[in-house]
């Protein structure tokens, strides 16, 4: 099934699928679990539209390229152009709030980092970004207090809160817009809590913005 931006009642949004802007190490505990320094400002990288697949459908992971790790994130759908935006403009540009998985070839990423090379091979493969349907912005009362949880085969593996972000959502959007224009249909993944780890074909995943949005999906055999 081809991905298209949708809201939780099932209807499609009249927005194109653009780039996915990802924020690295936005939770201190996650940076520490991978032995990475805690950044002084947001780390930005981009996944292409070709990496996006519907989270609600079983998705595949690359074979023969080492461990594939999940990173569960709150996803922000952009509905208006943002360039050098302030936080108020960023708030008005949010068209939806959902879930994303930043799937990562961890061993490949480690080798690339050791060589000082870019991460694209580990982060941008086809299927590297399952995205959920999106809630309306009015459905989320406080972007700084959203519980983000992932369970694998019934075991909770990630369970963090957006209050733990080093840079909160609106500041992230404003910061990203200083470096490149965010356009309608782009998605921003806001960072992952601690607890990342590998998945295997056949694993059953439950991905949640707790009490707001839940997706049951699977890694294809």
pLDDT tens track for 16-37 = 999 999 998 899 887 677 777 8
Q: What is the pLDDT of residue 89?
A: 98
Question: Is there a domain that residue 2 lies in?
Answer: no
Question: Is there a domain that residue 62 lies in?
Answer: no
Q: Provide the domain limits for residue 42.
A: 20-56+68-218
Q: What is the pLDDT of residue 143?
A: 98
pLDDT tens track for 127-139 = 999 999 999 999 9
Question: Is there a domain that residue 132 lies in?
Answer: yes
pLDDT tens track for 97-114 = 999 999 999 999 999 989
pLDDT tens track for 133-173 = 999 999 999 999 999 999 999 999 999 999 999 999 999 99
Question: Is there a domain that residue 118 lies in?
Answer: yes
Question: Is there a domain that residue 9 lies in?
Answer: no
3-class secondary structure per residue, the chain = CCCCCEECCCCECCCCCCCEEEEECCEHHHHHHCCCCCCCCCEEEEECHHHEEECCCCECCCCCCCCEEECEEEEEEECCCECCCCHHHHHHCEEEEEEEECCEEHHHHHHHHHCCCCCHHHHCCCCCEEECCEECHHHCCCCCCCEEEEEECCEEEEEEEHHHECCCHHHHHHHHHHHCCECCCCEEECCCCCCCEECCCCCEEEEEECCCEEEEEEECC
Question: Is there a domain that residue 37 lies in?
Answer: yes
With 0.75 as the threshold, say if the pTM is over it.
yes
- The mean predicted confidence, pLDDT, of the chain is 95
What confidence category does residue 62 fall into, taking pLDDT thresholds of 50, 70 and 90? Answer: very high
Question: Is there a domain that residue 24 lies in?
Answer: yes
Q: What is the pLDDT of residue 21?
A: 98
Q: What is the pLDDT of residue 65?
A: 96
Q: What is the pLDDT of residue 31?
A: 61
What confidence category does residue 184 fall into, taking pLDDT thresholds of 50, 70 and 90? Answer: very high
Total structural domains within the chain:
1
Q: What is the pLDDT of residue 28?
A: 82
Question: Is there a domain that residue 61 lies in?
Answer: no
Q: Is the pLDDT of residue 87 over 90?
A: yes
Q: Which two tokens stand for residue 189?
A: 């993944």
Q: What is the pLDDT of residue 199?
A: 97
Residue 93's domain is classified under what CATH number?
3.90.850.10
């Amino acid at each position: 099934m081809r991905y298209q931006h949708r809201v939780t009642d099932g209807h499609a949004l009249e927005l194109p699928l653009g780039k996915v802007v990802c924020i690295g190490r936005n939770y201190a505990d996650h940076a520490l679990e991978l032995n990475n320094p805690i950044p002084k400002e947001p780390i930005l990288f981009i996944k292409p539209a070709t990496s996006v697949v519907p989270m609600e459908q079983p998705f595949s992971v690359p074979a023969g390229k080492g461990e594939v790790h999940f990173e569960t994130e709150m996803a922000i759908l952009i509905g208006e152009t943002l360039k050098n935006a302030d936080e108020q403009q960023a708030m008005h540009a949010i068209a939806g709030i959902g879930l994303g998985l930043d799937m990562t070839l961890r061993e490949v990423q480690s080798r690339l980092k050791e060589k000082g090379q870019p991460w694209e091979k580990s982060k941008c493969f086809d299927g590297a970004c399952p995205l959920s349907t999106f809630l309306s912005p009015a459905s989320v009362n406080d972007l700084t207090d959203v519980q983000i949880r992932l369970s694998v085969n019934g075991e909770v593996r990630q369970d963090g809160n957006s209050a733990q972000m080093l840079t909160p959502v609106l500041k992230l959007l404003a910061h990203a817009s200083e470096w490149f224009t965010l356009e309608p249909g782009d998605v921003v993944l806001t960072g992952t809590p601690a607890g990342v780890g590998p998945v295997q074909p056949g694993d059953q995943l439950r991905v949640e913005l707790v009490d707001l949005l839940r997706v049951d999906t699977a890694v294809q055999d």
